[in-house]
Amino acid sequence: MNSLLKAENVHKSFNGVNALNNFSCDVHENEIVGLIGPNGAGKSTLFNVITGFIESENGNIEFIGKVITKYPSHKIIKLGISRTFQDLRLIKQMSVLDNILLCFNNQQGEELQNIIFKSNSIAKVEEENKLKAHDLLRHAGIEEKANDLAGTLSYGQQKLLSIICCLAADSKLLLLDEPIAGINPEMREKILTIISELPSKGKSVILIEHDMDFTMRICNRLIFMDAGYKISEGTPEEVRNDPKVIEAYIQ
């Protein structure tokens, strides 16, 4: 399997507390890697460092063979990594459709020369993006919500929308931070289906999730981390049965 993302010895501390302790991991093409561990283990920090929201103190991150360690977020997104946030970060006063449209990676409109010289092609791309956004909403079963304000959706639907926004970027790698936390069983199944289809569409996922059953069902591999360290890594079965993991969960 080809390597997609490689993080090596990534280190980040906050006020003397090591959130990432020389952490290394690999993600291959077309796989779902579950990142599990207690609160404060450093899971979201890893996402922040990979996506350029936080700069690591040490270490190296490569994506498709390119060193991205010092890249700013917008460049990393363009290269093909998108993410959701634990606290969602939707624009609640905008429509569901507009939230999705903001996330497409193919927009040319921001540059002045494009506005002046390419208005027809911009309009065409925007029209195509709208169609794709409706397709994504239809696939997720919430197309009727397209024109509603994002803030009026239920919490589960907002979680689903944040995943749809992530899909709109058509990235090779999706980083999903607790996509099913706090939502009902029906919505969990829907989200499980959407995530589990991604490898067959040429995408890889790192999934932060506390629910062991969910990760066991959906992940090809699991990484268990605690206090910024990688404690265990392997198939879901191997990690679940690792005495170090059992000990950490019982404590």
Ligand X SMILES: Nc1ncnc2c1ncn2[C@@H]1O[C@H](COP(=O)(O)OP(=O)(O)O)[C@@H](O)[C@H]1O
**Which residue number has the CB closest to Mg ion?**
44
Coil, strand or helix: which one is 108? coil
Interacting span for ligand X (CB under 6 A) from 40-48, 57-65, 76-84, 133-141: 40-48
Minimum CB separation from Mg ion for residue 170, in Å?
25
By CB under 6 A, which span of 11-19, 24-32, 161-169, 182-190 interacts with ligand X?
Answer: 11-19
Note whether 10 and 61 are within 8 A (CB).
Answer: yes
Going from the C-alpha of 249 to that of each of 176, 182, 238, 242, 243, the distances in angstroms are 22, 20, 15, 11, 10
Separation between Cα atoms, residue 179 and residue 196, nearest integer Å:
13
β-strands 173-177, 204-208 pairing: parallel
Positive or negative CA dihedral for 79, 191, 48, 133?
positive
Instruction: Work out how close the CB of 34 gets to ligand X at its nearest, in angstroms, rounded to a whole number.
Output: 13
Binding site for Mg ion (CB under 5 A): 43-44, 86
Residue from 4, 5, 7, 19 binding ligand X (CB under 6 A): 19
Q: Can residue 40 be called a binding residue for ligand X (CB under 6 A)?
A: yes
Q: Considering only residues 2, 39, 120, 251, which one is a binding residue for ligand X as defined by CB under 6 A?
A: 39
How many binding residues for ligand X (CB under 6 A)? 11
Binding string, 44-73, against ligand X, x = CB under 6 A? xx----------------------------
42 binding partner (options ligand X, Mg ion, none; Cβ < 5 to 8 Å by kind):
ligand X
Q: Does 182 bind ligand X (CB under 6 A)?
A: no
d(C-alpha 239, C-alpha 32), whole Å: 15
* CA dist 176 → 48, 58, 164 (Å): 12, 24, 11
Answer for which of 10, 23, 31, 42 binds ligand X (CB under 6 A) is 42
**Which residues lie across from 175 on neighbouring strands?**
83, 206
Residue 14 in the binding site for ligand X (CB under 6 A): yes
Residue 159: name its binding partner from Mg ion, ligand X, none (Cβ under 5 to 8 Å by kind). Answer: none
Closer to Mg ion by Cβ: residue 38 or 199? 38
- List phi, psi (to 5°) of 238: -60, -45
Distance CA 170, CA 198 (A): 11
From Mg ion, ligand X, none, interface partner of 123 (C-beta below 5 to 8 A by class)? none
Strands in 58-63's sheet, in edge-to-edge order, are 17-28, 3-14, 58-63, 66-67
State in angstroms the smallest separation of the CB of 198 from ligand X.
Answer: 22
* Chain residues in the site for ligand X (CB under 6 A): 14, 17, 19, 37, 39-45
